[in-house]
Amino acid sequence: MPIDPSDPFADPAGPDADPPATVHPLEPPAAQVRAMVTDVLDRLLPWLERQATGPMSTVSGSQRVARALRGPPPEEPGDWRGILGTLERALGASLDTTSPGYLAYVPGGGLPQVAVADLYADLVNRFTGLWMPAPGFVTLEIEVIRWFAGILGLPDAAGGLLTSGGSLANLGAVVAARHHHLGEDLADGVVYRSDATHHSVDKTVALAGIPRRNVRSIPVDAAHRLRVDALDAAIRADRAAGRRPFLVVANAGTTAVGAVDPIDAIADRCAEHRVWLHVDAAYGGFFALTARGTAVLRGIGRADSVTLDPHKGLFLPYGTGCLIVRDREALRAAHAVEATYLPPPADDPLAWDLADLGPELSRPNRGLRVWLPVALHGLGAFRRTLDEKLDLAQVAAEAIRAIPGVRLVSEPTLSLFSFRLEPDGPGGDPGPTDVVNRRWLSATNRRRRVFLSGAVVVDPAVGRPLFVLRVCVLSYRTHADRIAMLIEDLRETVAEALGDAG
Ligand SMILES: *Cc1c(COP(=O)(O)O)cnc(C)c1O
């Protein structure tokens, strides 16, 4: 049979060739690779199924587990079963991030389909840092970016790339804004963000070389949203003092309480003052797929750059964030450096060298892990799932609000809200009330049907830092039955939280 040179799966030696006689130890026979994959699936698929109904695992015996896993690298081959056992020991001592009851921090769930995309990507190991070596795979990533830009309402000239997460997306945005507005003179460049902004923003601003003294903390209003009047005043004051305001970071869903800043009004100010607007939408951005989310995020399409986190809002396993910049050229100008040993750029506006848009050259084939689930299920499936999260958060918030003594510290603008038990009313001493709330959190989590986390936030209504419980519904696996358990467990543990107070 003739070999088709365009078919990458054709065997160049022909279908009847003998298999190679010797096998290199690092090149296991196909049957062995298949057996390893099968072993993993045989163990993990039933485990995943139990995740939907079983009690949630907790992190216990951390030190004991860690001690058991330490040791020098082996010189000789290890036993495969033993290796799987080691992985299971590590798995046994971990937070149950794939459980439908995981409502802590910002969940995502981790679609198992994406593990299949990763398997494919890693088996073929194509190079996606540049366009030339794998134009097909790079196109899939570029298409994903263009889809997202369209969803947010950004123009055709937008560009970007998939990153390891929201933190690195924020870094890319800060670097692009800095390069665009400050060039190489950073000393007087000033950044503005609300007190509620994710800590990764301050981290990336520091990494980008902006002096700490040039980061302005803008107060929030009663709904924990950046105060536009205060922002405006701060920018004016810095300009008057001869400094160079260059970047405003707005939140599309703060991590602690879920607040969405008034993006449209902030965009007006940024346009007026000619300052870069970055929207950190790592938690909330994909709600733009829903009608309610679009209304809440109004103005996001006016941003100069946006951070999204597919490993949150698209339910991917950890490892994929996304940066989108309104003017692709601004992002490229901030990152591109020439190297004579690399292929020249292709003459096509849609052939992006991704290495020119971010800090990495070699990188995982991230496009596949976003593109595959969308290709498989269609955006509609994600849209409906995100809509379900908005509904669930509303139901949960109303039921929790109805528990006597509870005050909602923030409303479920999207799918995240915060609350607090205040037996003496909001005016009570926050210290002892914090203790009651910490106890309430532990008592609820101890039932192992849901897992919540808390946060200390300065409540503008009270003007003091308070400990709040929070619910973030974002796992694709969380449905109404689990929210019913959440409500039941919170109700039934109130007495425990209060009773031990003495
Ligand atoms: C999660 C999050 C980040 C950080 O993203 P990583 O993917 O964890 O790096 C930044 N900002 C917000 C608002 C987030 O929710």
CB within 8 Å of 448: residues ≥ 6 apart: 55, 56, 58, 101
Helix, strand or coil, per DSSP, at residue 314: coil
Distance between CA 59 and CA 252 in Å, rounded? 31
Q: Can you point out the beta strands (E) in 86-228?
A: 159-163, 189-194, 215-218
CA 162 from centroid of its chain's CA atoms: 11
Atom 2 of ligand 1: nearest residue by CA position: 282
User: In angstroms, what is the span from residue 167 Cα to ligand 1's centroid?
Assistant: 6
Q: What is the pLDDT of residues 477-495, one digit of tens each?
A: 999 999 999 999 999 999 9
What's residue 65's pLDDT? Answer: 92
Least confident of 54-63, 116-125, 253-262, 374-383: 54-63
Residue entry with tokens 């992985």:
87
Q: State the closest ligand 1 atom to the C-alpha of 281, by its place in the atom list counted from 1.
A: 13
Q: Assign residue 315 a region: left if phi > 0, alpha if psi is -120 to 50, beta otherwise? A: left
Q: What is the pLDDT of residues 204-249, one digit of tens each?
A: 999 999 999 999 999 999 999 999 999 999 999 999 999 999 999 9
Helix, strand or coil, per DSSP, at residue 488: helix
Strands 189-194 and 244-251: parallel
User: Given a cut of 90, is residue 20 above it in pLDDT?
Assistant: no
- CB count, 10 Å around CB of 135? 15
Q: State the closest ligand 1 atom to the C-alpha of 251, by its place in the atom list counted from 1.
A: 13
pLDDT band at 39 (very low <50, low <70, confident <90, very high): very high
More confident residue, 339 or 135: 135
What's residue 3's pLDDT? Answer: 57
- Reduced 3-state DSSP string for 413-433: CCCEEEEEECCCCCCCCHHHH
Distance between CA 47 and CA 44 in Å, rounded? 5
Q: What is the pLDDT of residues 79-101, one digit of tens each?
A: 999 999 999 999 999 999 999 99
CA 440 from centroid of its chain's CA atoms: 27
Q: State the closest ligand 1 atom to the C-alpha of 197, by its place in the atom list counted from 1.
A: 13
Contact 418/469 with Cβ under 8 angstroms? yes
DSSP designation for 231: H
Q: What is the pLDDT of residues 281-329, one digit of tens each?
A: 999 999 999 999 999 999 999 999 999 999 999 999 999 999 999 999 9
Percent of the chain with pLDDT over 70: 96
Atom 15 of ligand 1: nearest residue by CA position: 283
Distance between CA 429 and CA 51 in Å, rounded? 40
277: closest CA among 307, 255, 257?
307
Atom 5 of ligand 1: nearest residue by CA position: 166
Mutate to test the pocket of ligand 1, among 174, 199, 255, 287 (most ligand atoms within 8 A of CB): 255
Question: pTM for the complete prediction?
Answer: 0.95
Q: Can you point out the beta strands (E) in 81-137?
A: none
Q: What is the pLDDT of residues 116-131, one digit of tens each?
A: 999 999 999 999 999 9
User: Given a cut of 60, is residue 5 above it in pLDDT?
Assistant: no
What's residue 444's pLDDT? Answer: 98
What's residue 457's pLDDT? Answer: 95
pLDDT band at 2 (very low <50, low <70, confident <90, very high): low
Ligand 1 pocket, CB under 6 A:
106, 165-167, 198, 200, 255, 280, 282-283, 309, 321
Distance between CA 297 and CA 102 in Å, rounded? 25
Q: What is the pLDDT of residues 171-209, one digit of tens each?
A: 999 999 999 999 999 999 999 999 889 999 999 999 999
pLDDT band at 23 (very low <50, low <70, confident <90, very high): confident
User: In angstroms, what is the span from residue 280 Cα to ligand 1's centroid?
Assistant: 8
Contact 386/289 with Cβ under 8 angstroms? yes
User: In angstroms, what is the span from residue 278 Cα to ligand 1's centroid?
Assistant: 14
User: In angstroms, what is the span from residue 168 Cα to ligand 1's centroid?
Assistant: 9
Atom 6 of ligand 1: nearest residue by CA position: 166
User: In angstroms, what is the span from residue 163 Cα to ligand 1's centroid?
Assistant: 12
496 backbone dihedrals φ, ψ, rounded to 5°: -60, -45
Distance between CA 170 and CA 163 in Å, rounded? 10
pLDDT band at 502 (very low <50, low <70, confident <90, very high): very low
What's residue 26's pLDDT? Answer: 93
- Residue 159, judged by CB atoms within 10 A of its CB (0-12, 13-18, 19+), counts as buried
145: closest CA among 118, 163, 132?
163
Contact 138/352 with Cβ under 8 angstroms? yes
418: closest CA among 437, 446, 443, 442?
437
pLDDT band at 12 (very low <50, low <70, confident <90, very high): low
What's residue 501's pLDDT? Answer: 44
Average pLDDT, the chain: 94
User: In angstroms, what is the span from residue 306 Cα to ligand 1's centroid?
Assistant: 12
Percent of the chain with pLDDT over 90: 87
pLDDT band at 499 (very low <50, low <70, confident <90, very high): confident
User: In angstroms, what is the span from residue 185 Cα to ligand 1's centroid?
Assistant: 28
Residue type, 113: Q
What's residue 339's pLDDT? Answer: 83
What's residue 355's pLDDT? Answer: 96
User: In angstroms, what is the span from residue 49 Cα to ligand 1's centroid?
Assistant: 28
Contact 426/461 with Cβ under 8 angstroms? yes
What's residue 17's pLDDT? Answer: 66
Distance between CA 437 and CA 104 in Å, rounded? 15
Strands 453-459 and 464-472: antiparallel
Atom 14 of ligand 1: nearest residue by CA position: 282
